[in-house]
Chains A and B, each alone.
Chain A
Amino acid sequence: MNNNDPKGIPQTTPRMSATFTRDVNSDIRRAAATGIYDIRGGGAKRKLPSFDDLLFMGASISRYPLEGYREKCETSVTIGGLHAENPIELDIPITIAGMSFGALSGPAKEALGRGASAAGTSTTTGDGGMTPEERTHSTKLVYQYLPSRYGMNPNDLRKADAIEIVVGQGAKPGGGGMLLGQKISDRVAAMRNLPKGIDQRSACRHPDWTGPDDLEIKILELREITGWKVPIYVKVAGARPYYDTTLAVKAGADAVVLDGMQGGTAATQDVFIEHVGQPTLAIVRPAVQALQDLGMHRKVQLILSGGIRSGADVAKAMALGADAVAIGTAALIALGDNDPKWEAEYNALGTTAGAYDDWHEGKDPAGITTQDPELMARFDPVEGGRRLRNYLKVMTLEAQTIARACGKNHLHNLEPEDLVALTMEAAAMAQVPLAGTNWYPGKPGTTY
């Protein structure tokens, strides 16, 4: 390109706007063309303060590491011992988060069950009810109790190892489930009692209770129906974590599941995912504070989810006070979601491996987030289960490596004082000092 126009005046270089970016402009054009908001799956994609902004200090002259192998670093955790006769014993503090049959294929749910069971942990049903595949292959199954109540019935409730009352999830605090017609196959329609091929509309509140005072009565009912045998979790997005955790405990929860905005969904409005909720890093300390203020830390367990990717994330969550984490998106990637081997097909769908998020269309080349029999056939649940087990194993080993370096013989002995922060935001959110200092924004007794 000639930098001078015919009259010899230099042209300025084209400058893109930071406000009206290419992405934004394409969103506007899409809205103008269709008249409907953009729907996609996944969690918040934009850059957020996260666990990447925290580092462990490790061993030093004052703090001694543990040897690998012989010097044990334990990873087990018990969830829900407060009221239930049969709490859930997990070998590792990493669980599989709720994802529905409907959003995922039957074989995908089977793979999750296989992998989690091999690793000694639990899976969770989703907004579609309990499938035989999942109950058969999952040694510990948490049954979600959602606003929609699709497929909810007392027989499945009594087959569950725990019940998770879903108030909300990180991707859409205040939104209900969404499944579009393309994925309402015969089987899904039968389980959800919907006409085949229609777009499922969502309820965002529970149909028969509103508020923590009524939640307490609902928890009583669920305990009465299941003979007080199994733990009751309450899952909520990280909206007002201090108050929500307090209220969940007061309502009688045995465990609180907190989901940050990086947490994925099968489908919802993009605007919900990106602009409602809080980063996972920001929600854990207030929740732990609430438990400590009630004298319930470690008595009511806190399970953190929303963009957990590695053993480092697991260790950091536990150092900040969580008892365990849950993974959703990461588990799907381990199974094979967004794998570059399908790149040609992603391109044909107008996307690329790693960016594919139109799961609601049911055209997943990997055969995981689809109900199409041909695509589903590409996914081998046995192999998928092995991959998930491997991934869980690696995350556990990574967390143990870090914990041993910090001198801990159990993952739950990690503490905030093992951490430093790289940014002001991370320091303020985690209440962990900036590296090289002993200060974080809002530290009591300090001003700036």
Chain B
Amino acid sequence: MQTIDLSKVGLRETNKMLQAQSAETNQTSWEIVNPRGSHAIACGLNAPIEVTIKGSTGYYCAGMNQQATVNIHGSAGPGTGENIMSGKIVIEGDASQYLGATGQGGLIVVKGNASSRCGISMKGVNIVVQGSIGHMSAFMGQSGNLVVCGDAGDALGDSCYEARFFVRGKVKSLGADCIKKDMREEHITFLRGLLDEAGIDADPSEFTRYGSARKLYNFHVDNAGAY
């Protein structure tokens, strides 16, 4: 286990060390202490290492993550895991807005609540939130899955493409072109797998599926009101 005191080592040196790890590294376990809400911690990683951050982080923690597992033992600031390509991010506390923005792959797990614009413009990432999420979540979501054990705020999935949303609690309102869909056996099976992977104990059959009505895929004047 390598321990880095961010307050002493500084951001650049910390990230340099973590980014220097490659697939062949035997330094697979890292711990960062005293994050003190700093920004861009452990961003741009590209190795199968595990990094645990003891405390709360600022903006863009684990941005553009590849292969690594990043655990945040605290709360996470805006844009955490933005553009994640692969790997895993686990947030013990709450996540601020834009969680997993434009993420293309991998898994993000939030034990607490996520805020507004959760999964905005998602492009393949899977996000599982044990608590609730805020408004405008998955805005323009293209692909990937957003799973919410609690409630969702206003305008869920506004203007989405093929991303899928599974919500167990209430949805305050659905966004443009986002509708309720059937939960079929294949969805329940898939969701069970995802919840297991996320380490969250919930019954998939209690979730409702939402997704695109696909009416905005090609412009029709009668849908002009939705724009």
Contact = CB atoms under 8 A, between A and B. Distances in A.
The reply to whether chain A is a binding partner of chain B is yes
Interface of A: 34-36, 148-149, 152-154, 157, 181, 193-195, 198-199, 201, 203, 207-209, 214, 217-218, 220-221, 224-228
B108 to A, nearest CB: 14
Contact of B78 (A195, A198, A208, A225): A208
Contacts of B218: 181, 198-199
A134 to B, nearest CB: 20
Which of B39, B58, B78, B83: most chain A CB closer than 10 A?
A: B83
Interface residues of B, number: 43
A285 B112 CA distance: 50
Interface stretch (B12-20, B21-29, B188-196): B12-20
Given A149-B123, A198-B217, A214-B59, A154 B40 contact: no
A278 to B, nearest CB: 26
Contacts of A201: 140, 159, 216
Contacts of B142: 193-194
A35 B221 contact: yes
A224 B224 contact: no
B104 A207 contact: no
Given A149-B123, A207-B98, 5 more contacts: A35-B221, A153-B85, A181-B217, A207-B82, A207-B120
B37 to A, nearest CB: 12
Nearest to B216: A201
A152 B217 CA distance: 22
Interface of B: 11-12, 15-16, 19, 39-40, 43-44, 46, 58-60, 63-64, 66, 78-79, 82-83, 85, 98, 101-102, 104, 117, 120-121, 123-124, 139-140, 142-143, 159, 161-162, 216-219, 221, 224
A208 B101 contact: yes
B63 A225 contact: yes
10 contacts: A149-B83, A149-B123, A152-B83, A154-B44, A154-B66, A154-B83, A207-B139, A221-B43, A224-B44, A227-B16
A4 B72 CA distance: 90
Contacts of A214: 59, 78
Contact of B85 (A154, A209, A217): A154
A154 B16 contact: no
Contact of A221 (B63, B104, B140): B63
B15 A153 contact: no
B159 A36 contact: no
B188 to A, nearest CB: 25
B166 to A, nearest CB: 20
B102 A224 contact: no
B43 A225 contact: yes
A157 B16 contact: no
B63 to A, nearest CB: 5
B123 A217 contact: no
Given A152-B102, A154-B44, A220-B39, A34 B85 contact: no
Contact of B40 (A209, A220, A227): A220
B98 A208 contact: yes
A217 B37 CA distance: 13
Contacts of B217: 181, 195, 198-199
B43 A195 contact: no
B83 A36 contact: no
B39 A221 contact: yes
Contact of B44 (A36, A209, A218, A225): A225
A208 B104 contact: no
Contacts of B221: 34-36
A224 B40 contact: yes
A1 B43 CA distance: 77
A439 to B, nearest CB: 49
Nearest to B212: A195
Contacts of B104: 153, 193
Contacts of B66: 154
A153 B224 contact: no
Contacts of A203: 121, 139-140
Contacts of A218: 59-60, 79
A221 B124 contact: no
Nearest to B100: A208
Which of A36, A149, A203, A221: most chain B CB closer than 10 A?
A: A221
Contacts of B58: 217
Contacts of B40: 217, 220-221, 224-225
Nearest to B102: A149
A152 to B, nearest CB: 6
A225 B84 CA distance: 12
Contacts of A154: 44, 46, 64, 66, 83, 85
A209 to B, nearest CB: 7
Given A201-B140, A221-B63, A208 B82 contact: yes
Nearest to A157: B64
Contacts of A209: 78-79, 98
